[in-house]
Structure 1
């Protein structure tokens, strides 16, 4: 075995050193991407508000007149019919974020059950602002997720996932924001129905024999008013969270070729922190 001459040895060492520097310098840290994707997937708020929207009639029913009850039952049937579709949009976005987190991390686990749990499709809904572009985006994203997960993530990276999924993710987040605004509008109508009875009836309940009932009614009114104030805050927080997810993913898409830069990593990390703060506020009520 021949020993390398000093000059050749020095050249080899320099080559290895430079090669190592190039490799480390070219490595893209995915920690911030993973944290952002995890925070996006676990944001919460939308699912709870979807259930509240679905159950509107259960809360309204004790306060309705017979005539108003008939209309409310019709509206209830419509809400029950679209509930699963509205939730399916969230499931698709959450599954995308979970997949993105997987690609940005070292672990691997099976998400095929989540693919199976996605809905069959969407229907246009003018009241909720769901149109053909949202239907197409849902179809496109579910097909992408099915391909990626079924293939075991082969030939798939964070960059290609974000590049292929961004347009559909942005469109579905737009739909979720529009639907959340529908939830808010429905809640406002419910609030007017429930609190309106007290506003109309209490001023005329001034007989001494009504004193106990009036007192109980006032306590109930105050409790319901506080409930609606708290839920209004949750709508605001949910909208902030969805907007933050959309902006964070947009910035990720815009900087796919610069993910190793400190300023980009810091920016993506800030979106993850903001989302965790919003999630904590939603969890705290």
Structure 2
């Protein structure tokens, strides 16, 4: 066997060993994506809340319309949904890229998710401030640079170091957005309580009041279930933030036993939250 062949084999062994040692990170990135994907299954949106408010107003007025959303201005609520989706896409694209890099895959990347700009402003109850816009842009630039020829030679630790601050900012805003939806559901519960309490006190047969009571508690149960789904997803965002913070703090020893153990615990905690969500 000539020297060139030996060198090629040694290089291949080195690459394989590097990929194997970084497997806990690629696995954790994949689990992060799976956990984030729960967002697409959430039962509530800002726009949905706006439309329900309009419908509730019609019910209170005893009005019947062919289209309950006609004349219902939900532009800011729709903008809040779009901003939240952009933040979600940015975070998801980051972990997709992180997983690809840790596996040595320099061809799989996602820049389409960051093709739309995030705009500063107040959208319904969601605030997108300058810090959030800057974080979104910073993460986008990082992902564009990661797969260029000049950046490929840099360590995975550099990506983690550069990406941590904007990622944590976006995760925080994402969590706030989910918290706003929980609060909106709480408002719906209070609104329904006021309506049903009023109806119970009005004239009606015992059967009608029994039916009203049953409908009320069924509705409260439904709203509570939605809140628990949102809260469970919010917990996963906190876990993802802590998991990446651990990577950041240990970025110079990514192949260590400590990182393997931390990422194993991280993946397990996310899986538990996914299971909890699916049970709701």
Q: 2:28, 2:269 → 1: CA distance? A: 9
- Unaligned 5+ runs, structure 2: 1-9, 63-67
Provide the residue aligned with 2:7 in structure 1: none
| 8 Å CA contact retained: 2:50, 2:77 | no
Matched, 1:42 2:39: no
Taking structure 1 as the reference length, the TM-score comes to 0.78
TM-score (norm 2): 0.79
1:125 match: secondary structure: strand
Larger CA deviation: 181-190 vs 134-143: 181-190
Q: Which residue of 2 aligns with 1:214?
A: 209
RMSD over aligned Cα atoms: 3.1
Structure 1: tracts of 5 or more residues without a match: 1-18
Q: Is 39-48 or 246-255 further displaced after alignment?
A: 39-48
Equivalent runs, 1:27-106 vs 2, <5 Å:
29-43=21-35, 44-49=37-42, 51-64=44-57, 65-66=60-61, 73-74=72-73, 76-106=74-104
Answer whether contact 1:50 1:83 (CA < 8 A) is retained: no
Instruction: Quote the offset at 1:172 in angstroms.
Output: 0.6
Q: Point out which structure has higher relative CO (alpha carbons under 8 A, 6+ apart).
A: 1
Q: The residue matched to 2:218 in structure 1 has which SS? A: helix
Deviation (angstroms), 1:53: 2.7
Aligned counterparts of 2:46 and 2:276: Cα–Cα separation in 1: 20
Aligned residues: 257
Deviations 1:52-79 (A, max 9, x none): 3321133344432359x99x934x3320
Rg: which structure is higher? 1
- In structure 1, C-alpha distance between the alignment counterparts of 2:105 and 2:139, rounded to whole Å: 23
8 Å Cα contact 2:100-2:108 kept in structure 1: no
Whether the 8 Å contact between 1:244 and 1:275 is mirrored in structure 2 is yes
